[in-house]
Structure 1
């Protein structure tokens, strides 16, 4: 029976590490119309633990999960180097696909995977969850509704509270492909225009280990959009005050901006001054509402037979921008896309 007929989208979660386990919990408990029916992981004890917690079977293999009649869609939450093959296999099995970003660090692999999706005609959504953050989404809506007029300048700040492990950095594709890729997607989303030129500068200001790994930990990127607008992005791997994520769009009729939420809303005012809470310190603290939003959108798209709102084009374009940013940094010049 189809997901549309049952009104419930039955989802198999592939990969139940930190991010996959979170997705499985959200789908099982907080997303109306969704049901986790199977989980699988190359580390069987992890799948067994999550399956027991959610009271669903742990599949014996990915092939078994993809063949299961009670799986309408899959959530691919494994390491990046496995995404392309899993997308191809899921598409050939006729499953709707949600995949964490990026599809691959190799553009040819991205194209191979997305071609399989298009051949199969299955729904596909890439996990750029920040589009569904209520504050960021409200900025994009203000632009779409024409409230700020013609977009002229976008400013995006993206700073992590602490650097990731260097073992992760060595395989992640570096700052532009594991961190700024979210900002590249956000720039396209709020400016409502594709990027045509990239100029990136970066340095090592936080930890020499980044340089030894061939990466940078501090970067500024200038994007030119097809509509003539510009986006500036600033990134740091270490903001000691917390997880700093802000977006501003300035236009001919005004501006719209998203500010950081505080850990709580208490404010203390005394003769010595004013004290407020710090920022959330971890991305899971900041972005749970956006993860819920992306799943609600995915489930609604499948149930209604409409294309997911963050699809194939959105899976490819930010990677192209990220690869161009690396080339720009290495060659010291703007890159035309």
Structure 2
């Protein structure tokens, strides 16, 4: 079978990471890249043995079957719209947009055109979380009753990033909203959120929170807690605990290596990851490999734009709850 030809828009750190996956997958080939603001574009062209093409030329090239959008968030919707009628499968990094109405419109357009569009919630493809989900499907702990998701970053991003990202709920917790719904398999009935500024005065001055707690209840009464912080002293903290009627499942933080030292002074383990791209390296690779497989099989990928819309919907209501101090009941 011929290799599936791909183009990538945006060659920042995520775009380059996806490019590395495409060139190592035996079923795919990177033929085109586009990033007019990237000073390294010619070096990247040589590295990936591909062409630099305009967006219009990529859209009109019928040989290109897969497109990855790794550009700034505010460009996502317009780029998806441009490629919906080209019969190309589209992968778009999260979030689709910060404006819920715009995302609602793109959900309808994707549905109308029956296009293959995948959203980059990579944590679904982390081997640890994927195995946890499999245990839940097999009902090894019975009926889910409570889920606790902990997500803490080693240090805050820049203030420039904070002001453009949509804030802690739409940028950081949006991954956790998607993971929560993915694991529990139900819609959310109510959401209550607390936001505080315990880490950075600059984040507070920028109008955002650096610490958050979110409590959600599903339509059947299951409880989900999400804990977020922009600071840890011990590394990238990414844990999930699911309590059920017959037991409990946990995903703890994987260390950099599995080496453990024990001697007369005691026992020590390797430290945790300090960067999301190393902690989720397998997840990033697995999601693109899965997307390639969906193109090959002509199947609809998940998570899709509806998942992207729902995660943003939860993020927006969490922000509303934090701002007003009220529990928000969802339709």
Task: State the TM bucket, normalised to the shorter chain.
Answer: over 0.9
2:183 to 183, 190, 194: 190
Conserved 8 A contact 1:7-1:303: no
Q: Work out the CA distance in 2 between the residues paired with 1:46 and 1:119.
A: 38
Q: Work out the CA distance in 2 between the residues paired with 1:25 and 1:108.
A: 34
Conserved 8 A contact 2:21-2:289: no
Bigger CA drift: 147-156 or 190-199? 190-199
Conserved 8 A contact 2:69-2:91: yes
1:41 and 2:35 correspond:
yes
1:181 and 2:163 correspond:
no
1:283 and 2:276 correspond:
yes
Conserved 8 A contact 1:13-1:39: yes
CA shift for structure 1 position 263 = 0.8
Q: Aligned runs of 1:61-72 on 2, under 5 Å?
A: 61-72=54-65
Q: Work out the CA distance in 2 between the residues paired with 1:225 and 1:181.
A: 17
Q: Work out the CA distance in 2 between the residues paired with 1:137 and 1:199.
A: 27
User: What's the CA shift string for 1:154-188, capped at 9, x where partnerless?
Assistant: 00000011110010001110000100000000000
1:149 and 2:139 correspond:
no
Conserved 8 A contact 1:139-1:248: no
Aligned residue pairs: how many?
330
Q: Aligned runs of 1:50-89 on 2, under 5 Å?
A: 50-59=44-53, 61-89=54-82
Conserved 8 A contact 2:4-2:28: yes
1:326 and 2:319 correspond:
yes
SS at match of 1:94: coil
Conserved 8 A contact 2:11-2:38: no
Conserved 8 A contact 1:94-1:120: no
Q: Which residue of 1 aligns with 2:246?
A: 253
Conserved 8 A contact 2:107-2:306: no
CA shift for structure 1 position 216 = 0.5
Q: Flag as ranges the 4+ runs of structure 1 deviating above 4 A.
A: none
TM-score normalised over the length of structure 1: 0.95
1:97 and 2:90 correspond:
yes
Structure 2's unaligned 5+ residue stretches are none
Structure 1's unaligned 5+ residue stretches are 1-5
CA shift for structure 1 position 133 = 0.3
TM-score normalised over the length of structure 2: 0.97
Q: Aligned runs of 1:1-337 on 2, under 5 Å?
A: 6-29=1-24, 31-43=25-37, 45-59=39-53, 61-337=54-330
Q: Work out the CA distance in 2 between the residues paired with 1:280 and 1:130.
A: 15
